[in-house]
Amino acid sequence: MKSIKAESKFLFLIMFVAIFVIGCKSKVGTSDAHEELPANTVEMNDDQYKVAGIELGQVQYREMGNALKVNGLISVPPQDFVSVSVSMGGFVKNTDLVQGSQVAKGQTLAIIENPEFIELQQNYLEARNNLEYAEADYKRQKDLNAENISSTKSYQLALSEYKNLKIKTFALEQKLALIGIDAKQLTEDKISRSVSVVSPISGFVKTVNVNIGKYVNPTDVMFEIVNNQKLTLELSLYEKDVAKVSAGQKIRFSMPNKPGKELAGLVYQVGKTIGEDKTIKVYASVSNEDKDLLPGMYVNAMIESGKDSTTVLPDEAVLSFDDKNYIFVYKDKRKEKNKDITDFLMIEVKKGVSNSGFSEVILPKDFDISKMKVVMKGAYNLLSALKNAGDMAC
């Protein structure tokens, strides 16, 4: 596999140099004199620029030597991970969800049926009707007792019956609420044999454990819903490094399946107990919203110590040649024979430590970081053109 990639890269380089040389030699024989370029400058027309895959950027500041290397997982806070169950069992009548489906808070996840739902509603309506009669009787006995027409015992029996039915009605109302039925809206002609299971949060379906016709018990988890809008990092830190980390420190992290993509985070809590593997948990919020981030993903992270940062560039922007290190910077753009020509300047730098795809660079004193644009991608092609093309007139 590596040999195939190396061969592809070599063929691309040959093609690029060929295009570059052809572009340069096309000027041989013309009557117009071309300005000779300095030895550390390479020029490209638009076609060569595209073939070289040039991407520009600026020098960054970040910690290198003092950052702690850790690893861990992407997770979500407990309030954003929900296991959906039912308080009363039933047969699944309908569901159309699959793993990964997006759901909104209050959306119906499934419909379940159970004859006990009918019985519960029946009991509630009967209790509510009895309560109305008991309340009227209680008020009547109260008035009669006040006028000494009825005995105190009759009044107390009416009061007791009224309170008991009031308790029973309220309890049945709460049971109906647990299965999603609003008792206030329930009437004799609205009794239903099925209830809807709704999502308590917005997010996506992580797990589906049901199918149509399956009987679910109150202890069964039907669905797992995850809200990935507030992802966190759960990192493992060695015991010896605990004193070096505190809330507020910045984090840079990447995923093994996308090593060139780096995201940021912020430590908000450090655990207080040490596990059997002699590590302690560090929790950090994720600063970037990214659709590629999913709970359970493995991450590599760097916890910055908050000390002085240094100037860095991506590894592929820093080139080694004849035991020295160089970068290419954008010099200017000009017109030549109605063509856009871009000039790049090769500058010698000193290279320091490298990690996470970045290298420390010590720049010349006259290098203006705020204005100079550095070649982040395609620098190797510029070096090849500069050293191999011969005549640099393009």
pLDDT in tens, 33-80: 455 677 888 988 888 888 888 999 999 888 766 678 899 999 988 889
Coil/strand/helix, residue 340:
strand
Average per-residue pLDDT for the chain: 85
Q: Tell me: the pLDDT tens digits for 112-162?
A: 999 999 999 999 999 999 999 999 998 998 888 888 887 888 889 999 999
Q: Which domain holds residue 30?
A: 12-63+310-388
pLDDT tops 90 at residue 24: no
Same domain, 156 and 97: yes
Q: What is the mean pLDDT of residues 174-197?
A: 92
Task: Quickly count: other Cβ atoms within 10 Å of residue 61's Cβ.
Answer: 10
The pLDDT of residue 22 is 46
The pLDDT of residue 364 is 93
pLDDT tops 60 at residue 342: yes
Q: What is the mean pLDDT of residues 308-328?
A: 89
Domain boundary among 274, 303, 332: 303
pLDDT tops 50 at residue 25: no
Task: Quickly count: other Cβ atoms within 10 Å of residue 86's Cβ.
Answer: 21
CA angle centred on 343, ends 337 and 346, rounded to 5°: 155
Q: What is the mean pLDDT of residues 365-387?
A: 90
Report DSSP state, residue 38.
P
pLDDT tops 70 at residue 241: yes
Minimum mean pLDDT range among 56-70, 83-97, 229-243: 56-70
pLDDT tops 70 at residue 254: yes
The pLDDT of residue 350 is 92
Q: What is the mean pLDDT of residues 200-222?
A: 94
Contacts 24+ apart (CB under 8 A), 277-281: 277/236, 278/238, 278/239, 279/236, 279/237, 279/238, 279/239, 280/236, 280/237, 280/239, 280/242, 281/234, 281/235, 281/236, 281/237
Domain boundary among 243, 272, 303: 303
Domain boundary among 223, 246, 266: 223
- Going by C-alpha positions, the residue among 96, 70, 38 that lies closest to residue 279 is 70
State if pTM tops 0.95.
Answer: no
Same domain, 192 and 218: yes
Same domain, 24 and 120: no
Same domain, 113 and 179: yes
